[in-house]
Structure 1
Amino acid sequence: MESPLVSSPAAEEATFVLQKVQPALLGLMDGSVSTLAPLFAAAGLTHSAHAAFFVGLAASVGAGISMGLAEALSDDGAVTGRGNPWMRGLITGGATTLGGMLHTLPFLIADLALALRVAYIVVGVELLLIAYIRFRFMKTPLASTIFQVIVGGGIVFGIGLWLGRIGAGG
């Protein structure tokens, strides 16, 4: 007789996706998208890569802490099967911070025009990576997920650029 504690590979994969991949994807998506507007608005408003870097750093770390706590405090996992809430919070918070920092790091380049060009490329790669993770683990059709992620990220990105121009008087 098989022990009830033995799980199938499909059940183990489902648990992995629910408890690890989903919180990480949530964080990457939030970090990548929610930090775009303040980062690019700051770059447009200040014309300073240095200032934009610190706005991006603050937005990334702040979003990571906020998302991590929100996920950790959302439920204890007993009813939903989502696993240890503090582990989910760490995964979500870390991924949120990472997602925001990836396109913030180019602003360590002192030349704002070059930093912006590199950041644009990084944003594109981030969004494609998120789309791939959704495709791979969430079984979302690739074309659909690329469209959704690119359109959503593009809207937020455009708003950040637009607000930066308005704030700078242009």
Structure 2
Amino acid sequence: MHIDMGMLVLIFIINFAYITLNTVRFLLVMRGYRYFAAFASVIEITIYVLGLSLVLNRLNNPINLVVYALGYGVGVYVGMVIEDRLALGYTMISVILPDPKSSLPGVLRENGFGVTQHAAYGLEGERLELEILAPRKNERRLYGLIKDAAPNAFVIAYEPRYISGGFWLKRVKRRNARRKKQ
């Protein structure tokens, strides 16, 4: 059995590119970037057909299939890393603090985060609950601020599907007004 290293590399690269693009496209769809996702799907399916035809035309060599599968696995991982770096969309963080007089809301506001706070009551008494909406690109910095100021905080994060009004709407309107003046 002859092993064509060039063909193996090509099969790996094609499937790697296809799956990386597939993963990013899927995440774009989930985050509501429909037009980008549609454009990516055109490129994605072209790469897919090319890669699949290379493997199907060379099934006599099982190494081709193994390399195709390796490209798939690496592509999924790299696609997730790319999406994580792009950090598209927003995250909603709920923080429950054991100290109702915590300085964390002020710290977060000083760092540009919009914070809604309200009193809460838990098993062990009064608590302070915070809700923070932040761009995903600022998520790690936000977690760092929370951990530094309130290491005992209970933190839950989730992705909002719809945002309207409030802190974000005002910020966007101000930014657009500044752009019009320039």
TM-score of Structure 1 vs Structure 2, range by shorter chain? 0.3 to 0.5
Bigger radius of gyration: 2
TM-score by length of 1: 0.33
Higher helix share: 1
Q: Greater relative contact order (Cα 8 A, min sep 6): structure 1 or 2?
A: 1
Higher strand share: 2
TM-score by length of 2: 0.31
